[in-house]
């Protein structure tokens, strides 16, 4: 069921590890990186709630969710093929908008698909398995350029747009995986057919854009208390993760290679080092997501998530103090634990708090709790990058670590409904 998530998350991993360097290769300033990354949150804010609500109402012969994540996967593949051949900054930014829209079309129907197929007492296993595939996919995507160098490709060979050839090949691989793994999941685990009663109930509902928007507004008004409480955790958590992804390469370039020049060999080396430590923390996430299942069932998703966020935050704050490449792998253990939990435990808490018949729309709305913090980060961080953070990416990582600790405290305030705790504890 979750093999398709491999291709989807390989695409996200390529974005996390390569988009900031690609922007720099094309001439972007460090302080403007969050603004250039606004494509993801804006498209997520617009696309995911609408697609989630539409998938709840779809009664096609292919299923409720399948048409959406298949179309999204095809668009994603085409965008990945074109991205590393961007000739200008505006072209890369435009392709990122299309790529993020495609990923967002796929994401929430895919999460709802897992909830549709599994009973509540298997939600923890289902979503943490999905998290494990996230870790595996992003391990591969982060390591792809380094693997090509180890196989003999020249790390300093670049195209006319200054983008390394190893990056171009990694994106081609991502394009192939995005489409093929989604098709595999569709073929091997088709959606469960709707009952005649469910189909009748859906046909009674009004169709069209206005009714979809009304469904979203009504769902927001009726939002369960636990879901509202999760918003604060998501605010700190995703602001922090965007800071980390955008600036960790630049922190490594300064600490290990004493450079801030994106055209230098040292900067390209920093990109490869980030790929290696990023692959390691995602490998940790892959293992941790599966190992976390019994602990989540015993102690609850909330406590496990808070613990993992604290570990990630403290480790993230140590990165600016490390000037040895080998030692950089140590804090990645904590970052990996946090990432494994981020991609699984909040969804366990959410699935236990929302009505099953509105899973799609609430999964889409829940994504707003991701993209709104990303939007806030994209607008505010450039304003404080020089005056408060001293124009130093290492200070951005310290800020990110502190925000993850705040996210852990906010998680402990979330009260999952008592009658659903059996599925998460």
Which of residues 423 and 8 earns the better pLDDT score?
8
Instruction: Find the mean pLDDT for residues 256-275.
Output: 93
Q: Which of 119-123, 177-181, 302-306, 333-337 has the lowest mean pLDDT?
A: 119-123
- Reported as a single tens digit per residue, the pLDDT across 281-328 is 988 988 888 788 788 778 888 888 999 999 999 999 999 999 999 999
Which of residues 174 and 69 earns the better pLDDT score?
174
pLDDT value of position 211:
67
pLDDT value of position 305:
92
pLDDT value of position 209:
58
pLDDT value of position 195:
66
> What angle do the packed helices 301-318 and 393-411 form, to 10 degrees?
160
pLDDT value of position 401:
97
Q: How far apart (Å, rounded) are the C-alpha atoms in residues 289 and 296?
A: 10
Which residues are bridge partners to 63 per DSSP? Answer: 60
Q: What's the mean per-residue pLDDT of the chain?
A: 84
Q: What is the pTM of this model?
A: 0.78
Q: Is the pLDDT of residue 423 over 50?
A: no
Could you say which DSSP state residue 298 is in?
H
pLDDT value of position 227:
81
Q: How far apart (Å, rounded) are the C-alpha atoms in residues 276 and 218?
A: 45
Which of residues 12 and 169 earns the better pLDDT score?
169
Q: Sign of dihedral through CA atoms 228, 367, 213, 39?
A: positive
- Reported as a single tens digit per residue, the pLDDT across 92-151 is 988 988 888 888 787 767 777 777 778 877 877 777 777 778 778 888 999 999 999 999
pLDDT value of position 391:
93
Q: Is the pLDDT of residue 271 over 90?
A: yes
pLDDT value of position 198:
65
> Contact, 244 vs 381, CB < 8 A?
no
CA atoms within 13 A on the CB side of 238: 23
- Reported as a single tens digit per residue, the pLDDT across 60-100 is 677 777 788 788 888 889 999 999 999 888 899 889 888 88
> Contact, 64 vs 55, CB < 8 A?
yes
- Reported as a single tens digit per residue, the pLDDT across 339-349 is 989 977 887 78
pLDDT value of position 72:
85
């Amino acid at each position: 069921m979750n093999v398709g998530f491999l291709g989807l998350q390989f695409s996200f991993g390529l974005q996390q590890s390569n988009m900031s360097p690609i922007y720099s290769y094309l001439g972007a300033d460090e302080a403007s990186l969050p603004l250039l990354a606004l494509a993801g949150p804006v498209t997520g804010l617009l696309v995911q709630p609408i697609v989630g609500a539409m998938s709840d109402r779809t009664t096609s012969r292919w299923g409720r969710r399948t048409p959406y994540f298949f179309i999204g996967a095809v668009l994603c593949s085409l965008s990945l093929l074109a991205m590393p051949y961007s000739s200008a900054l505006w072209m890369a930014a435009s392709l990122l908008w299309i790529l993020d829209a495609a990923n967002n079309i796929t994401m929430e129907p895919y999460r709802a698909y897992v909830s549709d197929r599994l009973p509540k007492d298997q939600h923890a296993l289902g979503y943490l398995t999905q998290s494990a595939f996230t870790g595996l996919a992003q391990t591969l995507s982060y390591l792809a350029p380094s693997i090509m160098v180890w196989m003999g490709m020249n790390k300093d060979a670049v195209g006319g747009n200054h983008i390394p050839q190893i990056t171009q090949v990694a994106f081609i691989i991502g394009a192939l995986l995005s489409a093929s793994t989604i098709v595999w999941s569709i073929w091997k685990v088709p959606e469960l057919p709707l009952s005649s009663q469910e189909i009748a109930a859906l046909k009674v509902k009004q169709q069209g854009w206005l009714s979809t928007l009304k469904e979203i507004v009504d769902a927001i008004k009726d939002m369960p208390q636990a879901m509202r409480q999760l918003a604060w955790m998501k605010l700190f958590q995703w602001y922090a993760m965007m800071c980390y992804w955008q600036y960790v390469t630049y922190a490594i370039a300064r600490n290990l290679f004493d450079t801030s020049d994106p055209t230098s060999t040292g900067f390209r080396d920093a990109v490869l080092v980030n790929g290696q430590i990023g692959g390691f923390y995602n490998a940790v996430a892959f293992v941790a997501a599966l190992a976390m299942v019994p602990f989540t069932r015993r102690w609850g998703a909330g406590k496990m998530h808070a613990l993992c966020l604290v570990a990630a935050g403290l480790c993230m704050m140590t990165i600016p103090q490390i000037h040895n490449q080998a030692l950089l792998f140590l804090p990645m253990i904590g970052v990996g634990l946090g990432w494994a939990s981020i991609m699984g435990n909040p969804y366990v808490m959410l699935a236990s708090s929302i009505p099953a018949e509105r899973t799609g729309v609430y999964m889409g709305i829940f994504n707003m709790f991701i993209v709104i913090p990303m939007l806030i980060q994209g607008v505010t961080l450039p304003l404080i990058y020089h005056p408060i953070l001293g124009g130093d990416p290492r200070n951005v990582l310290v800020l990110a670590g502190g925000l993850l600790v705040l996210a852990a405290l906010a998680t402990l305030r979330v009260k999952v409904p008592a009658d659903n705790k059996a599925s998460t504890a």
